[in-house]
Structure 1
């Protein structure tokens, strides 16, 4: 259960095509008539495409650690290898970061400050995420081409400082553009060039990073978060709890070239490579959570764990299960309509508790089928920073840092933002909308639990709801768990190692980078048990 993909950019909008094979990238900066000049209008959207495409392996692997899904039996048992995340590592460095540096350098020389601003913000997001995943990484000496083919590894804490400076630089560069649009809409696949949207993304990223360091520098985190929430209108979500400014990559629905969500391409084709994680299925089912019908689609109405025949069709795999997969590809559950662009499960569930209020069979008149390539649109999303995430961050910070924010209201807003986002997406892609009344009642029910909980219970509720809302972004769930230990994960059936505190480096990097000397193997082994700098 391991996948690699070929990524091509094509067309003015930077369409993507991904298929099985080795990871390659055709850089649209390559102009046979003028190879030294970067076309910023084409190069910037290609960085947005390559970042999303190269995140596939990283997202699926961390999602497996966090029991969102099962992409690999080995990773489900906490066993990493030098190839576990090498596609993401190599692609980020050779494609995304390399092209972002070109945009920043050429844009600065040409005084194209809108391009520079967006590239700096995108780079800040990606580099901070790489620190979160791997800890120490090449940074100050990287992206120098043949000048330095073996860049030294910088400490994660120092890189975070550089990233925070880079965000401020990006905001300042955006301020040099008087118009409300930083660049033409066709050159930005995320926000269509909207200046206010990118500034909201940048400030929300700062909020995320300062909350991330709260364990190691609580005073600074508190001060900076208070400053950011003093004007919540400048953050994603604003004061109206709107999802319109979510920092999200949207895949396409095309098949030739194939630019669909990678999970859809993997599971709605000829075979099945993933399992849905049984612990997430059970969490949603037992919590009467309506998101289950959106996250997971059943292919069989009675299939159950271990390919049994007397369950309700929610057949996944327990974390840490090392047994061989049976012949079950037409029976196991798979990715639903959100976020992969698959099918919405509108078939009756045969053993729902009669006390359920939200996950019910009301209006469930559909039937189940073995999913195929023509099912669903595939036009899924990759959620990087969303309104729901921002609200849960604010709730966490209020509970742990006493920022003066309203933890209870942010908790509720995060829940409604999550359900509203899923509902809006599903209704536009062949699924069913969740009524505002249901969303509000569901949120009220959880707020009642919040009110009855002690301080530890309140934080557990916040982090559990964030964990559920983060489905589709395993990296953020992985960050949250290492920082808080929440939610409590299911005990593995047959672990091969301890829970990984960092990801393994690309074996290509460790083999080729001479700056590591003879310490490469020890460095790799230490990744499993060495916390990142903000984790203690």
Structure 2
């Protein structure tokens, strides 16, 4: 990332050097002054650091929500340590925040209101993320190390106050964006400098905050926010970080692609999540082949018979569809064990399987086309993808921080919980369609004309894409299920479908899980006694060891302020 920042800085400097008439430069409102050049490079750094920070907790949050395989240990105590978030904490408090404040101080006198407001929105999001993960965090006294009254050991502000301050910062940004011009001060990877889009995002984040905090009264704000309008409800308004396909100098590809498409085997996918998509409904979710790529589609029985030492199923030597741990069966008799799908070859790991790593790299299901920019799974090809970054869309994926489908899902939740007067069923239907539209749009990143079979007829990759009919059938199935369910069941279906659409966004999945105790029937730990669920992250070691006012929380079972569920929650 440092090389990427340097390259962006060079681009900014060259854009200034290209202007030869300095007098014109000083008076041209569209020109770039020396002060603006500093602001430009700073803005590039801010966006890069922001994306690094918001991406950092993915595997922590996604593993707990069963979106990704949680493999750090057999118990929750063993899975995550205080050092895990040292880098993120330092990047946010020592990198992003000082840069953000410096940029705002530079940009506002230059009349760059939209650019300054966009940084305030990122700053608000960062604080919301930290409050969601840790609870109380430094806010009121943060960033005061160089002030007149230096504060080098900031105390923590209660999470509820952090949220309130973040909402106030969003309001400030919205007001600043009112009538503001688009900005070209620096490259804006999110919205291309659009003041209107940044304002839409700010209003949407206020909605997100209202639903997130609905258990402590935040839901009362939902109706007025929606009635005011201008929230993210179309895919062209999505808040997404766009990765490139450059392998070196800099490597700007999706982290998931880097994880699975170079020389390493990559992380394990969640057996339960793949089963949820591939088998739980009795037919495969058409998005499954976009999310995941199976390097070997014939694991059972072929690979199991040919290479039995490649598997570590804990209770059986090899995958066995006739065996299921009794505590799995107590949750659901259909609960997957050792494989996400025996018939389709989706191979990852069970929840809290912290055993050693056998030689199974060639069999693992890896990240696919969406959102990682990897390979689309055409259902025909058995190939490994550890090929030095030459497969699929070359990593040109996205970070789905907030999408239009997410807005519809949380509004459906709000409608079912008495916080919004919309039609929850229609919102659910629209949410699923928006998710499909965004996922299938990734087809444009690969060559669909590649022939994958010639007998008995010629078949191309495009022939295997999710067509309108399969999408309609999926939505019809879910809506029939929804109509037949009681109110509790309806909310469970909304949560399940939201979790599926969230793929690539671990934080919102973790928040959903803690807020609703849903979806139901998630896979338990492979050890029958995994200990208590992690309801918030322990504070990073750098915070505890370097801040004289910092003390570690009593336990990771301590909930954040908006999580008022009791210990019987479906964790």
TM-score (norm 1): 0.84
Given that 2:43 and 2:103 are in contact with CA atoms closer than 8 Å, whether structure 1 keeps it comes out as: yes
Residue deviations 1:348-374, cap 9 Å, x none? xxxxxxxxxxxxxxxxx4443344221
Residue deviations 1:69-94, cap 9 Å, x none? 13642398453211122222221222
Match of 1:159 in 2: 162
Distance 2:319 2:158 in 1: 52
Distance 2:385 2:419 in 1: 50
Q: Name the SS of the counterpart of 2:8 in structure 1.
A: coil
- Size of the aligned set, in residue pairs, is 480
Residue deviations 1:260-300, cap 9 Å, x none? 11111121111124101100011111132111111111111
- Of 345, 352, 374 in structure 1, the residue corresponding to residue 390 of structure 2 is 374
Shift of 1:512: 0.2
Shift of 1:227: 1.3
Distance 1:82 1:492 in 2: 22
Match of 1:481 in 2: 513
Query: Aligned pair 1:228/2:241, yes or no?
Result: no
Given that 2:260 and 2:385 are in contact with CA atoms closer than 8 Å, whether structure 1 keeps it comes out as: no
Query: Aligned pair 1:511/2:545, yes or no?
Result: yes
Match of 2:263 in 1: 270
Match of 1:113 in 2: 113
Query: Aligned pair 1:62/2:61, yes or no?
Result: yes
Given that 1:134 and 1:504 are in contact with CA atoms closer than 8 Å, whether structure 2 keeps it comes out as: yes
Q: 1:64-83 maps to which residues of 2 (within 5 A)? A: 64-70=63-69, 72-74=71-73, 77=76, 79-83=79-83
- Of 510, 513, 530 in structure 1, the residue corresponding to residue 558 of structure 2 is 530
Match of 1:354 in 2: none
Match of 1:188 in 2: 188
- Of 428, 441, 453 in structure 1, the residue corresponding to residue 485 of structure 2 is 453
Query: 1:98/1:485 Cα in 2 relative to 1: closer, same or farther (>3 Å)?
Result: same
Query: 1:473/1:76 Cα in 2 relative to 1: closer, same or farther (>3 Å)?
Result: farther
- Of 471, 477, 492 in structure 1, the residue corresponding to residue 525 of structure 2 is 492
Query: 1:57/1:195 Cα in 2 relative to 1: closer, same or farther (>3 Å)?
Result: closer
Distance 1:60 1:235 in 2: 28
Match of 1:383 in 2: 400
Shift of 1:332: 1.1
Shift of 1:212: 1.1
Match of 1:125 in 2: 125
Q: Name the SS of the counterpart of 1:276 in structure 2.
A: coil
Match of 1:399 in 2: 416
Q: 1:175-254 maps to which residues of 2 (within 5 A)? A: 175-177=178-180, 179=181, 181=182, 183-184=183-184, 186-217=186-217, 221-222=219-220, 224-232=221-229, 234-237=230-233, 242-254=234-246
Residue deviations 1:182-218, cap 9 Å, x none? x11853110001122111111110100011111111x
Distance 1:140 1:35 in 2: 33
Match of 2:252 in 1: 259
Match of 2:46 in 1: 47
Distance 1:228 1:368 in 2: 49
Q: Name the SS of the counterpart of 2:503 in structure 1.
A: coil
Query: Aligned pair 1:298/2:294, yes or no?
Result: yes
Match of 2:432 in 1: 415
Distance 1:379 1:345 in 2: 17
Distance 1:512 1:213 in 2: 31
Shift of 1:309: 7.8
Given that 1:134 and 1:505 are in contact with CA atoms closer than 8 Å, whether structure 2 keeps it comes out as: yes
Match of 2:345 in 1: 313
Shift of 1:525: 3.7
Distance 2:129 2:211 in 1: 14
305-314 vs 335-344, which moves further: 305-314
Query: 1:55/1:429 Cα in 2 relative to 1: closer, same or farther (>3 Å)?
Result: farther
Which 5+ residue runs of structure 2 have no aligned equivalent?
A: 12-32, 301-310, 321-341, 449-461, 565-571
Shift of 1:427: 3.0
Shift of 1:436: 3.0
TM-score (norm 2): 0.79
Distance 2:105 2:228 in 1: 32
Given that 1:68 and 1:474 are in contact with CA atoms closer than 8 Å, whether structure 2 keeps it comes out as: yes
Given that 1:100 and 1:123 are in contact with CA atoms closer than 8 Å, whether structure 2 keeps it comes out as: yes
Given that 2:121 and 2:202 are in contact with CA atoms closer than 8 Å, whether structure 1 keeps it comes out as: yes
Residue deviations 1:346-405, cap 9 Å, x none? 12xxxxxxxxxxxxxxxxx44433442211210111111110100001100011024211
Superposition RMSD on alpha carbons, in Å?
Answer: 2.4
Which 5+ residue runs of structure 1 have no aligned equivalent?
A: 16-33, 348-364
Given that 2:35 and 2:106 are in contact with CA atoms closer than 8 Å, whether structure 1 keeps it comes out as: no
Residue deviations 1:228-285, cap 9 Å, x none? 22254x1112xxxx31110000111001121111111121111124101100011111
469-478 vs 79-88, which moves further: 79-88
Distance 2:3 2:85 in 1: 16
Distance 1:45 1:213 in 2: 32
Shift of 1:111: 3.5
Shift of 1:46: 2.1
